[in-house]
Amino acid sequence: MAELVTEQSDAELRELLANAKKELFNLRFQLATGQLANTARIGEVRRDVARIRTEQRRRELAQTGANDG
């Protein structure tokens, strides 16, 4: 996933983030209702969300750093 994130465009990152958030919501719902078989998936998706947000922030800082110079 880490390699995938750095290769995506900004629009694709937004889409990946939205999908990951939806999946995380569904996983949490399944956990609450006792239907979740693989609880480790919640951690995986949380890390994916963090990776995407980190890449978005890195790009934001790179853009503002380029504008400051």
- Name the pTM for this structure: 0.89
Nearest by Cα to 16 from 63, 67, 51: 51
Q: In this structure, are residues 36 and 21 in contact, taking their beta carbons and an 8 Å threshold?
A: no
Q: How far is CA 59 from CA 6, 53, 55, in A?
A: 10, 10, 6
Q: For the segment 13-50, what is each residue's pLDDT rounded down to a tens digit?
A: 999 999 999 999 999 999 999 999 999 999 999 999 99
Task: Please enumerate in sequence order all residues whose Cβ is within 8 A of that of 9, keeping only pairs 6 or more positions apart, or say none.
Answer: none
User: Does position 69 have pLDDT exceeding 70, yes or no?
Assistant: no
Structural domains for the chain: 2-68 (1.10.287.310)
pLDDT at residue number 55: 96
